[in-house]
Amino acid sequence: MKQIFQFDVLIIGSGVAGLACALKLDKNLSIALISKGSLVDGSSWLAQGGIAAVLDEEDSIEAHVDDTLIAGDGLCHKDTVKFVVENGQKTIRWLVDQGVLFTKDKSNKNFHLGQEGGHSFRRILHSADATGKAITRALIQKVKEASNIQIFEEHCAVDLITQEDSTTNRMKCVGSYLLNLKSSEIGLFQAKTVVLASGGASKAYLYTSNPDGASGDGIAMAWRKGCRIANMEFNQFHPTCLFNADAKSSLITEAIRGEGGILLLPNGERFMNKFHKDGELAPRDVVARAIDHEMKRIGCDCLYLDISHRESSFIRESFPNVYEECLKYGIDITKDKIPVVPAAHYTCGGVIVSKDGQTDLSNLYVIGESSFTGLHGANRMASNSLLECLVYAESSASSINYRLPEISLPFEIPQWDESRVIHSDENVVISHNWDELRRFMWDYVGIVRTKKRLLRAANRIELLQNEIQEFYKNFSISRDLIELRNLASVSQLIIKSAQQRKESRGLHYTIDFPDKSKFAKDTILVPVNFAGQEIFISS
């Protein structure tokens, strides 16, 4: 008999968004917190730069809003931006109450505020250069102390479970099938409410700063069950990842440029001033495109980031983790230039949600990088993402706390049926398709796009989808197969969205349509299931 679990709230994802949501829910609710790996395996743990909030007397809510709108290149939803920014100070106070230790200034009285690209003031709170680690560690400790939260590590979500809601004639989410990666058993997790906080989809690209688990699981699962998706063409490429064959996903924080780091060509020449008036502090999309352009123009494998002109003690104190990480590969950043390349970093689109984090499905919430709130527009401004995670964790928790008493547990749900599948002896199919997918996404749907490249990608993804679906139907599932299936779905969403946008805006740059349209419009995809096929309707 396979295990059946019942909870009030099922949270899939254990990064900052999922952890904070669990802590903000009513203490009388039974909560399951699902982590694909360990609690520290996600992108939140790796976040370096910090969290943006208005704390300086010279700064203002209006300035933070304006900076975000400018970075978003006309596509930010202004009401969402104001909602998130206005909750900044409250969010910081809550984090401090949870035990997060932010770096103080020299007086040791006030927080040290950093500055990053796109921000007109110093407003980045940080814990040295490992802010994500500091926040995640503190929240994990609180979650482990909570008697109403049960943690399930090494569990991978397979699919959401839906039923028709007789009171509203809408579909509602009633749980999820989860693969226990230790036992290989698939358990049934029933819940009155489900929260997806499973992160982005940057693993769709060959080069990424994200961990292996960033396979777009939440976006793909919500899409398959009928949720609308928006703006998936806007993939943020972080300008500076360490270029080294052994440094798998080593991000070089943008805060280095905020503290005077300069970008150089191989011959030592600066180049960013040719591309933007703010030079190295230009928005990320501009910097990433500039590096990509110069690498292709010169024909080199990488460019360089140099902070060595600052005092050695300042560098080691401000960026201890970057210093130690680079030192592993023989690079002393107090003396040497850092070889860097752009890499896929953040998914700005996602599942469309309200200000409460609610989706098109009743009882399904999506928060964090899996969601589309309208905050980031066509380009996410640095350090706004952790703030978004925490603000929407609270708004969704408040909504769930209010609505849950009216929701009953779902009626009988069938257990996972794998009676007609067999164990595969050809898992090379999974690894081959995984590699091919990430390569053509990098080559055809990367920093610079064309109609021909996107068409090639669209044709290939359709063939891959058929191959993956056939494999999925006939063989026992594994984490690799689940992630491949989800990555293929999300990649198709990215390609379709990019094909729909006939302009260049923010993170989406196409040679065929280099100009920006006069009208800023979101790309919205609506799934319609017919005969087992996904049909796209744009609006």
Taking only the tens place, the pLDDT of each residue in 405-457 is 988 877 678 888 776 676 766 678 888 899 999 999 988 999 999 999 999 99
Checking if the pLDDT of 229 tops 60, the result is: yes
Which amino acid is it at 515?
D
| Phi, psi torsion values for 306, nearest 5 degrees | -125, 120
The b-or-e profile of 14-52 (16+ CB within 10 A means b, else e) is bbbbbbbbbbbbbeebbbbbbbbbebbbbbbbbbbbbbb
Domains assigned to the chain: 236-345 (3.90.700.10), 428-538 (1.20.58.100)
Burial class (CB in 10 A: 0-12, 13-18, 19+), 224: middle
Which active-site residues does the annotation give? Answer: 284
Q: Residue 219: which of 206, 201, 233, 234 has the closest Cα?
A: 201
Of the pLDDT bands very low, low, confident and very high (cuts 50, 70, 90), residue 489 is very high
Which amino acid is it at 62?
E
Rounded alpha-carbon distances, angstroms, from residue 232 to 107, 235, 310, 316, 372: 44, 7, 39, 38, 9
Sequence-ordered strand ranges (E) for 71-222? 113-114, 124-125, 149-152, 155-165, 170-180, 186-196
Q: Is the separation of the CB atoms in 188 and 160 below 8 Å?
A: no
Mind listing the pLDDT tens digit for each residue in 1-59? 478 999 999 999 999 999 999 999 999 999 999 999 999 888 888 787 799 999 999 99
Q: Is the separation of the CB atoms in 216 and 32 below 8 Å?
A: no
Q: What is the mean pLDDT of residues 168-192?
A: 93
Token pair recorded at residue 48: 């370096």
Supply the DSSP symbol for 36. S
Q: What is the mean pLDDT of residues 170-180?
A: 94
User: What share of the chain in percent tops pLDDT 90?
Assistant: 74
The b-or-e profile of 510-534 (16+ CB within 10 A means b, else e) is beebeeeeeebebbbbbbeeeeeeb
Task: Give the number of C-alpha atoms closer than 13 A to the C-alpha of residue 356, restricted to the C-beta side.
Answer: 13
Q: Which residues pair with 535 in a beta bridge?
A: 528
| Beta-strand pair 149-152/31-34 | parallel
Q: Is the separation of the CB atoms in 366 and 13 below 8 Å?
A: no
Longest dimension (CA), the chain: 68
Checking 502-507 for CB contacts under 8 A at 24+ apart, the result is 505/73, 505/74, 505/75, 505/378, 506/72, 506/73, 506/75, 506/234, 506/285, 506/377, 506/378, 506/379, 507/233, 507/234, 507/235, 507/236, 507/237, 507/285, 507/348, 507/378, 507/379
**Averaged confidence pLDDT in the chain:** 92
Lowest model confidence (mean pLDDT) among 224-228, 396-400, 424-428: 424-428
Q: What is the pTM of this model?
A: 0.89
Element (DSSP H or E) covering residue 366: strand 364-366
Q: Which residues pair with 527 in a beta bridge?
A: 536
Higher pLDDT, 129 or 328: 328
Mind listing the pLDDT tens digit for each residue in 97-130? 999 999 998 888 889 998 887 899 999 999 988 8
pLDDT score, position 293? 87
Of the pLDDT bands very low, low, confident and very high (cuts 50, 70, 90), residue 151 is very high
Q: Which residue has the tokens 């400018």?
A: 70
Task: Give residues with Cβ within 8 angstroms of 320, minimum separation 6.
Answer: 128, 129, 130
